């Protein structure tokens, strides 16, 4: 990856494709709260019991298992739409229309009388939203050169965060003055921002390299696909190329280093996600009011996350991937130690703002850089499938560990918990250093005359 000057690095944000990614990020972020916390608020406001509302959290499983149908999105053309718009934009448009239609349907339903239909519609919206995530991730990776991936990620994060404000606070304001049905109708109309961005964007390139074709042929031969006949051969051929080959390709390209890479993917966000589980309960237990927490989080949290993500994009363009990746891992682990100071101090709104600002700044840097790193690992023949796999692996271990956060706080207190949250970031730092060392060894071997 070529290093650029500071001027070139900052000017990347004026490139049309990078600016356009903010609108697709908005489209990706809009449905998320509308099937989670915003929907929960509507249901509770309508008198639905907490036990029933709790079941709606299972809708989130759709996002965690999207890797299952990612190979279909990667390889299956859509009748008429693919010829008209191309592979990525056709799937993107279909998913966005599905989300908008689902939100329009919700806007016509009554939680007191049609709760089952609301549940089915919420699952449909989540499925279309997860599908949109698969396609937008693939499009983002394929649309621009690798050195600009962090900048693309930063604009995606910006759009996503704005969408969370619209689908969270915006929906609440509309519901307060007009009603929940009007709020969901308005959110359905907001999806046209993403639809217009899809129609106005250009189709990304996704060439299949000769080595990839040769690998697919080898796998098909090993599985005996050629010996089959008719529809069974076609199905086996598709399964081999779309499902098995993406996993085999990763290890063919990376060899044993692939295990180190997968370990880093699983552990890089561990410290950040583990700490985040207990953040809001921690603020409340310290004595801060909900208004104070909201004001500081919205003002400092929002802008520092956006600034951090943009800074991460600049650092990747300026210095390449690995150095900013190491910086992000160090910053996330280090800023968690500030929460130890907060736990040991009397409630102080200024100190809270400083700690939240530092935490969101480091999180923003780490997020955009890490997204760029994951993007660099994909093969253009399997972009959607491989990135869906990486993003699932990125969050699953951290979410499983996050479930034990409350037990640690109850047993040892907040200060020890944040020390623990910081310490679980150390393996990520170690793994980045290992991969930097392996990368340097590979470069030396390539430059050494045989």
Which pLDDT tens digit goes with each residue over 333-344? 999 899 999 888
Quick one: pLDDT at residue 120? 94
**Domains by residue range for the chain, with CATH:** 6-200 (1.20.1250.20), 210-244 (no CATH), 255-442 (1.20.1250.20)
Quick one: pLDDT at residue 349? 85
The token duo for 222 is 């090993």
Quick one: pLDDT at residue 242? 76
Q: What mean pLDDT comes out for the span 180-190?
A: 95
User: CA-CA distance, 160 to 131, in Å (whole number)?
Assistant: 16
The token duo for 179 is 């009603």
Most confident range (mean pLDDT) of 49-63, 89-103, 146-160 is 89-103
Q: What mean pLDDT comes out for the span 49-56?
A: 77
Quick one: pLDDT at residue 92? 96
pLDDT exceeds cutoff 70 at 448: no
The token duo for 33 is 């709260």
Which pLDDT tens digit goes with each residue over 339-380? 999 888 888 888 888 888 899 899 899 988 998 898 888 887
34 or 8, which is more confident? 34
**Cα 366 from chain centre:** 12
Give the torsion sign (CA, 119, 120, 122, 123): positive
Which pLDDT tens digit goes with each residue over 376-433? 888 878 888 888 888 888 877 766 666 667 777 888 888 888 898 899 899 999 999 9
**DSSP assigned state of 321:** S
Which pLDDT tens digit goes with each residue over 79-108? 999 999 998 999 999 999 999 999 999 999
Helical H segments across 107-206, by residue range: 115-142, 149-165, 171-177, 180-190, 192-200
Largest CA distance in the chain: 76
Tell me the pLDDT band of 48, cut-offs 50, 70 and 90.
confident
The token duo for 400 is 């499983």
Which pLDDT tens digit goes with each residue over 299-310? 777 888 888 988
pLDDT exceeds cutoff 80 at 61: no
Q: What mean pLDDT comes out for the span 172-192?
A: 93
Tell me the pLDDT band of 245, cut-offs 50, 70 and 90.
confident
How many CA atoms within 13 Å lie on the side-chain side of 313? 28
């Amino acid at each position: 990856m070529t290093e650029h000057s500071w001027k070139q690095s900052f000017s990347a944000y004026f490139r049309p494709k990078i600016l356009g990614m903010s609108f697709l990020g908005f489209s990706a972020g809009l449905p998320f709260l509308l099937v989670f916390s915003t929907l929960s608020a509507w249901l509770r406001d309508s008198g639905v019991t907490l036990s029933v509302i709790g079941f709606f959290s299972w809708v989130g499983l759709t996002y965690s298992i999207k890797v299952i149908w990612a190979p279909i999105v990667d390889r299956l053309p859509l009748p008429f739409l693919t010829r008209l718009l191309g592979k990525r934009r056709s799937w993107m448009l279909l998913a966005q229309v599905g989300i908008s239609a689902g939100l329009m349907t919700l806007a016509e339903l009554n939680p007191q009388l049609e709760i089952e239909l609301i549940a089915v519609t919420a699952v449909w919206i989540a499925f279309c939203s997860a599908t949109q995530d698969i396609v937008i991730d693939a499009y983002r990776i394929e649309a621009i050169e690798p050195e600009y991936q962090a900048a693309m990620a930063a604009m995606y994060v910006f759009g996503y965060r704005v969408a969370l404000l619209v689908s969270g606070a915006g929906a609440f304001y509309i519901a307060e003055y007009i009603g929940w049905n009007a709020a969901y109708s308005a959110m359905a109309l907001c999806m046209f921002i993403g639809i217009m961005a899809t129609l106005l964007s250009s189709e990304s390139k996704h060439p299949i390299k000769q080595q990839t074709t040769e690998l697919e042929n080898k796998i098909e031969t090993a599985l005996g696909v050629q010996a089959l006949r008719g529809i069974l051969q076609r199905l086996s051929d598709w399964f081999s190329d779309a499902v098995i080959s993406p996993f085999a390709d990763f290890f063919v390209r990376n060899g044993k280093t692939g295990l180190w890479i997968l370990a880093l993917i699983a552990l890089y966000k561990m410290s950040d996600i583990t700490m985040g589980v207990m953040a809001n309960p921690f603020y409340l237990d310290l004595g801060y009011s909900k208004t104070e927490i909201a004001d500081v989080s919205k003002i400092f949290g929002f802008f520092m996350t956006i600034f951090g993500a943009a800074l991460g994009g600049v650092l990747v363009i300026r210095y390449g991937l690995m150095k900013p990746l190491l910086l992000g891992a160090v910053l996330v682990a280090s800023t968690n130690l500030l929460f130890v100071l907060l736990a040991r101090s009397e409630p102080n709104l200024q100190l809270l703002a400083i700690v939240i600002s530092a935490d969101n700044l480091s999180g923003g840097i780490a997020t955009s850089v890490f997204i760029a790193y994951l993007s660099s690992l994909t093969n253009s023949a399997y972009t959607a499938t491989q990135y869906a796999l990486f993003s699932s692996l990125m969050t699953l271990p951290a979410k499983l560990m996050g479930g034990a956060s409350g037990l640690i706080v109850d047993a040892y207190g907040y200060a020890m918990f944040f020390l623990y949250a910081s310490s679980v970031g150390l393996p990520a730092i170690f793994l980045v250093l290992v991969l930097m060392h392996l990368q340097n060894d590979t470069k030396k071997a390539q430059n050494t005359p045989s």
